[in-house]
Amino acid sequence: METLSAGDPQRLGPYWLAGRLGSGGQGIVYEAYDPEGHRVALKMLHPAGNGMAGRLAKEATAARRVASFCTAKVLAADLDGSRPYIVSEYVPGPSLRDAVAEGRRFAGDDLHRLATAVATALTAIHDAGVIHRDLKPDNVLLGPDGPRVIDFGIARTLDMSLTRTGEVAGTPSYLAPEVFAGQRAGTPADVFAWGATMMFAATGQDPFHADNLGGVMHRVLSHHPDLSALPPGLAPLVGAALRKEPAARPAARDLLLALVSGDSADLGGLLAEGSRAAGGVAAPGPADPALGTIAEDAYGSLGPEERDLAAEVFLRLVAIGEDGRQTGRAASHDELFEGRPEHEAEAVRRVLRAFSYVVSADGHTVELSRPALLRAWPRLRMWVNADRDGLAVLGEINRAARHWAEHGRRDADLLQGSRLEQALRWAATGRRHVTLTPRERDYLQAGTDLARRRTRRRRLTTVALAGMLVVALAAGGVAVWQGRQTARQRDIAVARQAAAEADRLRTVDPVTAMRLSVAAWRLSPQPEARGSLMASLQQQETAVFRDPPVQGLAYRALSRDGRTLVSVSKQGVNVYDVRTGRRVGGWKGLDLKGEIAFGPVLSPSGRLLAQSTPEELGVWDLTTGRRVYREKLEPGGGGGQYPLFGEHETTLLVVYFDGLSHLVDLRTGRRFGKALVRKDGSEALPDDLLVDPAGRRMLVTEGRLDAMSLPGWKRERPYPACRTESAVVAFSPDGRTLACARDGITVVDAATGRVRARDDEWSCDVCGRPGPRMRLDDRHAVVFARRDLQVWRIADHREVLTYRAEGDLTDVRLDPDGRTLRYLMDDVVVSVDLGPRVTSTRVSKDAEIRFSPTGRWATVAGYEATSLRLMDLRTHRDVATFAKGSEDPVVPGFDERRGRLVLAGAQSKVRLIDLRTSRQVWAVRTPEYNLPEQVVFSPDGTKVIMSMGPEGQSGPFRVMVYDAATGRTLHAYRTTVRGGPLTRDGKTLVTGSGTYFDLTTGKQAGTGFAVSEEGYSPALSSRGVIAIGQDEDGRIALWQYDPRGPTPIRPALPRAAGSVVLLAFSPDGGTLATLTNSGKVQLWDPAGRRRLGGSFDLHTLREPEALTFSADGRTVYAAVDGTVHQVPVDPEQVAAAVCRRAGGALPERDWAAHLPDVPYRETC
């Protein structure tokens, strides 16, 4: 990457430029960084002429429509300014042309994957209605995640006018014949360029190269390239793409279908499959590091003395303008070296040498050669933020001191008055990393002397200035207070960085992520750290094991207990214990003819390993490495045959992609059984054929469940309950239980076929997706398909986990410990904790639960019960029982302070009970044709306020106000508004209808605020914040209460994980809890307008009933489906729980790697 030249801008819009990546006829491409420090590619276009601005805008809009499958996604564009530009993803890697120029050639699978990648990109581009028009090796980048097609700079949309006759846009040797013939370039022209690019990748030569444009035109129009360098499977496709007639070429989508054998009906799935296949193309050479990484590596190479000086050196290269904007500046040689001891000056020189890639020095000045470093390097951002206010002051002191020294050191050029005081105060107490140069110190000293001479009467002011000057000029640095402030600012910045790093590592290194979040919280309890800490308690992932790389491709299998990974390649077999990461077995070499095309399979015990190639099948004893079976395979459709194990240890199935070839008894080596082909010709999935644990039957799943007896090969129907419920089946490890699933799950006795469990609410969402598979043990059932999985507890049919992985799941297994699930995805085994994140207590099978405001009590009322239970939430013990009608819903109202309870029933009766004596104090009749919805006591305990809704679909609402001592009706209002929380003065209801309701007049007051579309009640905090869940999309509105009318709080909260049914504020108003209709509890920081972590999933299909905080604000209580859940909120409790999950604190070696600027401390 070239450094910026004198004419290059430092910034364009919000993007900071780091250097030139290249230039061409349309403009200059820069490496740039956005305000958050993310690397992007920015193309600054040459100013558009007349009529071009509109075209550029259309082209940018078109490019942004392209899905990011094997393409560099267009992120932003600004085409209205004097310097128009387009921003896209940065792809760290060389172009295909550069890779070939360095000697790389593509052949075999490597070329096939490259072809798939570029075809995938073209399919996505064409699907968006865009034509690339300049596809060539230079515009294919080999990134770390596979090839990416870039540069839609001359792309056109299909609804725009295409290339005009005689206008040639693109690179000549990759243009289609019709373009040279003066025809319009359409999608077939891109397909032609695809074919030419594949020829270049295979041969290293442009297929239509000539010395001049006329020669290139002649070769494109008449020459037919030699395709012998291409593999047999690819040559026909490239040949078809290079046909001279556009109509004879295949579409990009057809190319992709042929390359991946995909489903033409599912474009999204086809693009995803192409993208996955393309991921195997490795980028050559070392990774292309971002600017921040380069700077951090340079910083890491410094010694302690240089590190101490690095911050000061870089801050001297930053200026803060009057508008607060940062820019780079040139620091003079004197600023960095004058007055320093020689050893310190030499240390500064070492800093400049270490950072020579980002800093330029000419002997007189030093400046940033790559201004984007200000955004790209997090450490520099931290330094600037810590000294931000003072950098403007430093700039003024530096400029004024230079002017003063160069113009005779006149008194008239000295700072005076408040400006001098401000400068001295910063120099004395505000500095973090910067020391003053001798000239700057002399300048401040002269200003103070002048002030002393002129203001002898203002002795106190003079003394104060002199005192600040002493501190400012002290050789030892700054005061103790300043050091503490510096440490505090550092800890805040580092805590935020650590929290962000923890969130990034959750699926990569879950244990380090958890430990980092605790360290972030301990360093500085910022909202970001608290959110990260909460996410660590919520995260399902607990460990990750990555298969160590080998030469060539490796294929993997996970054992039935999920504890062992077997990795097979042409170099041999490796066996790993995924819990410890240790290699526990294996051998070198794999004596099989042909190339491995399918992954290995393991027998139920994990003792036998079966592996095939299109030519041969082998079975080995995994403990000894001895081969126990060998078979020559016949070629077949879809890549040949491959082995499968069912649930019987020594019965092996040999299958084609569309059915069964035969079975093998591994004890004798005898082949038996007959071929079975799926009736619809579709692919047979791994679990469609399943041998039972006894080896007596083979289950066949194809729309319905059948069985073949073994070895007799007679059709049987042993499980009638599963006959039509059989999208997927599985046996338990002991073979006694069979589960089958389609829309729901049925469990039967494997011996008798008798139904053990069937539940209409035991629904399976994943079962309806393509290719579901199932796993079963004594405790759990799992169904997974592609990226998604669901887990249920067999005992009560409750869902305990819904999960979406980052990629397609190769296999999923349940650990015998009963709380760990592991899945295999590519080369990674991820461990997932099935244990609950909350404490749950089932208090009733079928009851409505209501909580008191501070979580001390709960009422439990069965829907057909004749009594209501009052329960102590802290102990979950009943403290009293009260009679009620068998079909009478009861709404409670609590006065916890005075020990009173109001019960309002639907049968026109309200009663108050003294809980200290369990005696009824009074009972009154209520208006007919209305049902109680809410009962609350006034803050002073003198009134009971009851809100009532209509009994039917329509009718009035009512608000009743009673004397709490006698039950006498004080007010009875007929109204149109729904009830809600009571204000602290007890005079107003904040209603669910979006207005205030004055309890003294019965009138609505104040201007309206947002309401819930579903009619749910708002929450009101002790700080006067109103929160309400607005709609099913999870929007939450915040308003500030004011008696004259509420005002909206902006910005709004992020969206919740579904329609918010219930809301509750903590007692101090600092935390908001929400509960969605699907049972997800989320926590929020209303002041910072941020979500704290993710969600606690309570897994329910029924609507939640109650939500509240405990009196100390440390716990949230949620009632769902007869169960009380306790959600930890207190960060100290959460930190302790996370430490237990992570197995302890962040070790010192990891602390040094992630938090190098902060001394180690114990965090757990």
Q: How far apart are CA 801 and CA 798, in angstroms?
A: 9
Task: Give me the residues paired with residue 780 across strands.
Answer: 793
Q: How many residues does the chain have?
A: 1164
Q: Is 427 helix (H, G, I), strand (E, B) or coil?
A: helix
Q: For residue 176, what are the contacts with CB-CB under 8 A and spacing of at least 6?
A: 185, 188, 189, 192, 193, 220, 246
Q: How far apart are CA 71 and CA 275, in angstroms?
A: 10
The single-letter code of the amino acid at 824 is L
The single-letter code of the amino acid at 477 is G
Distance of alpha carbon 1004 from the chain centroid: 45
Distance of alpha carbon 4 from the chain centroid: 34
Cβ neighbour number for residue 440 with a 10 Å cutoff: 25
Q: Exposed, middle or buried, 763 (CB in 10 Å: 0-12/13-18/19+)?
A: middle
Integer Rg of the chain from CA: 36
Q: Exposed, middle or buried, 1056 (CB in 10 Å: 0-12/13-18/19+)?
A: buried
> Does residue 1099 contact residue 1113 with C-beta atoms inside 8 Å?
no
The single-letter code of the amino acid at 106 is F
List the catalytic residue out of 134, 561, 688, 811.
Answer: 134
Task: Judge whether 134 counts as a catalytic residue.
Answer: yes
Buried b (16+ CB within 10 A) or exposed e, 636-660: eeeebbbbbbbbbbbbbbbbbbbbb
Q: How far apart are CA 293 and CA 562, in angstroms?
A: 37
Q: For residue 1036, what are the contacts with CB-CB under 8 A and spacing of at least 6?
A: 1027, 1028, 1029, 1030, 1052, 1053, 1055, 1056, 1060, 1063, 1074, 1084
String of DSSP letters for 274-286: HHHHHTT-PPPSS
Q: How far apart are CA 825 and CA 495, in angstroms?
A: 32
Q: For residue 1147, what are the contacts with CB-CB under 8 A and spacing of at least 6?
A: none
Q: Exposed, middle or buried, 1146 (CB in 10 Å: 0-12/13-18/19+)?
A: buried
Q: How far apart are CA 692 and CA 699, in angstroms?
A: 7
Q: How far apart are CA 362 and CA 339, in angstroms?
A: 20
From 90, 85, 92, 55, select the one nearest 73 (Cα to Cα): 90
Task: Give me the residues paired with residue 401 across strands.
Answer: none
- Largest Cα–Cα separation, the chain: 117
> Does residue 397 contact residue 419 with C-beta atoms inside 8 Å?
no
Q: In the sheet that 890-895 helps form, which strands lie side by side, from edge to edge? A: 890-895, 900-905, 909-914, 919-925
**Residues catalogued as catalytic:** 134
